[in-house]
Amino acid sequence: MPETPIKNQNDGVLRLRSPIPVSVNHYLVPKVIYPGGTPRATMYETNEAKRYKKQFALYTTAEIRNQKWMPPEDKRRHFYMDCVFYFDRIDRDPNNYFKLLCDAITDSGQVWPDDNVVCERVQGIYYDSKDPRIEIEIRPVDYIGIFVNEIEKERFTEVCKTCNRFEKNCSILRKCIEGRMTPEVNSGVCDKYKSRKDHYE
């Protein structure tokens, strides 16, 4: 893998650098199999895609160690993956490369449990025929569930603790932390709130 850009080990950002992988059009290709003699189409990974995933997963693991990067303890946390593309040709579409890139990072087992928590963002498209590449920055998002940040979540939770639903493992609070929109919560206020009797004692 290419040399990683200069990094600041204290800013919470994992910086990676990737060659341009195969596009999504050449990641999975159809193949006809004949179970029981009946033809059926299935999809399989190309050898080129398999090689890239294996190499980039190993590279990602090594860079996490080199950069002393620590992922959030909350396994549900989402991530921004900011990418600057340097293509060898002007006819390439950056959206065709995220799938294989995300799958390779997932295979490292070190960043996120599944790439359904990734917010992919194209931050620039340039052209460099001598050194085509993708420069990547991965960072946890600020928002937690439906809350803008940790402070807003804590404020909401502190109010929840004074509600009689809280000790019953309130499903509304759980859904909010999971990022599920719920009609009971409007503008940061829960319509189902009912103060515990002992709260005023």
Whether residue 83 contacts residue 135, with contact meaning beta carbons closer than 8 Å, is answered with yes
Judged against a pLDDT cut of 60, whether residue 173 lies above it is answered with yes
Q: 2 in a domain, yes or no?
A: no
Residues 80 and 159 in one domain: no
Whether residue 45 contacts residue 31, with contact meaning beta carbons closer than 8 Å, is answered with no
Question: Rounded CA gap, 92 and 110, in Å?
Answer: 29
68: left (phi over 0), alpha (psi -120 to 50) or beta: left
Phi, psi angle pair for 124, to nearest 5°: 175, 150
Q: What is the mean pLDDT of residues 141-158?
A: 93
Q: What is the mean pLDDT of residues 101-106?
A: 96
Q: 89 in a domain, yes or no?
A: yes
User: Which domain covers residue 182, as residue numbers?
Assistant: 150-200
Q: 6 in a domain, yes or no?
A: no
Residues 29 and 101 in one domain: yes
**pLDDT value for 41:** 75
Confidence at 9, pLDDT banded by 50, 70, 90: low
Q: 7 in a domain, yes or no?
A: no
Residues 105 and 191 in one domain: no
Confidence at 2, pLDDT banded by 50, 70, 90: low
Residues 65 and 133 in one domain: yes
Q: 55 in a domain, yes or no?
A: yes
Residues 160 and 122 in one domain: no
Phi, psi angle pair for 144, to nearest 5°: -125, 110
**pLDDT value for 39:** 76
Residues 72 and 101 in one domain: yes
Q: What rounded mean pLDDT belongs to the chain?
A: 89
Q: pLDDT tens-digit profile of 105-128? A: 999 999 999 999 999 999 999 999
CATH assignment at residue 93 = 3.30.1330.70
Residues 28 and 55 in one domain: yes
DSSP class of 9: T
Judged against a pLDDT cut of 80, whether residue 175 lies above it is answered with yes
**pLDDT value for 198:** 60
Whether residue 26 contacts residue 49, with contact meaning beta carbons closer than 8 Å, is answered with yes
Would you state the structure tokens that stand for residue 61, as one six-digit string?
């693991």
Residues 46 and 131 in one domain: yes
